[in-house]
Amino acid sequence: MIKAAVLGSIILGSSLASAVNSYDVQQNENQLLDKYDLKLYLGSESSDRPKRKRRSTKLSIQLYGDIDYNSPIQNTTIIPNKCYNQDGIGSLKTGKQSKYRGVIIACTEEDCYGICQFLPRRVSNYMPKASDQLGGVKARSYSWISPYY
Given this model, what pLDDT does residue 34 score?
A: 46
CATH number of the domain bearing residue 138: 2.60.20.10
Give pTM, 2 decimals.
Answer: 0.60
Percent of the chain at pLDDT > 70 equals 61
Tell me the per-residue pLDDT of 61-89, one tens digit each, with 9 for 90 and over. Answer: 999 998 888 889 989 999 989 999 999 99
What's the full length of the chain, in residues? 149
* AA identity, residue 46: S
**Cα-to-chain-centroid distance, residue 62:** 24
**Residue 137 domain boundaries:** 59-145
- Overall domain count for the chain: 1
Percent of the chain at pLDDT > 90 equals 28
Q: Which comes out higher in pLDDT, residue 45 or 132?
A: 132
Given this model, what pLDDT does residue 40 score?
A: 45
First and final CA of the chain: distance in angstroms? Answer: 82
Q: Measure the CA–CA gap between 20 and 18, rounded to whole angstroms.
A: 5
HSE at residue 87, side-chain half, CA atoms within 13 A, is 0
Given this model, what pLDDT does residue 13 score?
A: 60
Residue 34 lies in a domain: no
Residue 1 lies in a domain: no
